[in-house]
Amino acid sequence: MIILGVDPGLTRCGVGVIEAGASRRLSFIHVDVVRSDPHASQDLRLLAIYDGLAGKLDRFAPDAVSIERVFAQSNRNTVLGTAQAAGLAMLAAAQRGIPVALHTPTEAKLAITGNGQAHKIQVERMVMRFLNLNARPTPPDAADALALAICHALRPAGALQGGEREEHLTEAQREWAKAAQKAAHAHSVDRGM
């Protein structure tokens, strides 16, 4: 199953693509940042982000898109731009019939490191380990996008959690869910649970 993670932002929108294979094996495919000119008008910035995200979705044809859930911050302009970029990612995915999942930063940190309050450097190191990378993905937006994709892949019991109904899953998602459930069952049997 191919998962595209999006760390939304109006100036820099991180995009990370991974493959979730059998036995929960994760492989790196791509990482990048879609940018908009901070000196351009708001409408042109949104268009640049949308075009960049649409291009990534068309190029990688993911089975799922994992987007950082926007949460309240003290800087209203940052929240607004982040929310707009997240909405564009959801729109681009919906236009292509690709299921979307939203994950909070805390959920991603917890899935990657086991600690919902982990520091960015800890998350980056674990992304490197999960994907067998020799260097940290840069800029941080790109690493965060990979973390969101990994978070989605590592959800308990695969793609069948989070309120998703099996009939709405793609064949790749069903296969991944079965493999993840089988791996989780084998792990619990090995540990005598």
**Active-site residue, selected from the candidate residues 68, 107, 124, 175:** 68
State whether the Cα torsion 23-28-33-34 is positive or negative: negative
**Active-site residue, selected from the candidate residues 7, 19, 63, 124:** 7
**Active-site residue, selected from the candidate residues 107, 141, 144, 175:** 141
| Residue 164 bears catalytic tag | no
Q: Return d(Cα 46, Cα 138) in angstroms, integer.
A: 22
For the chain, the straight-line distance linking the first and the last C-alpha, in angstroms and rounded, comes to 28
| Residue 37 bears catalytic tag | no
| Residue 141 bears catalytic tag | yes
Q: Return d(Cα 145, Cα 63) in angstroms, integer.
A: 16
Q: Find the helix or strand (DSSP H, E) in which 103 lies.
A: strand 100-103
Q: Which residues are catalytic?
A: 7, 68, 141
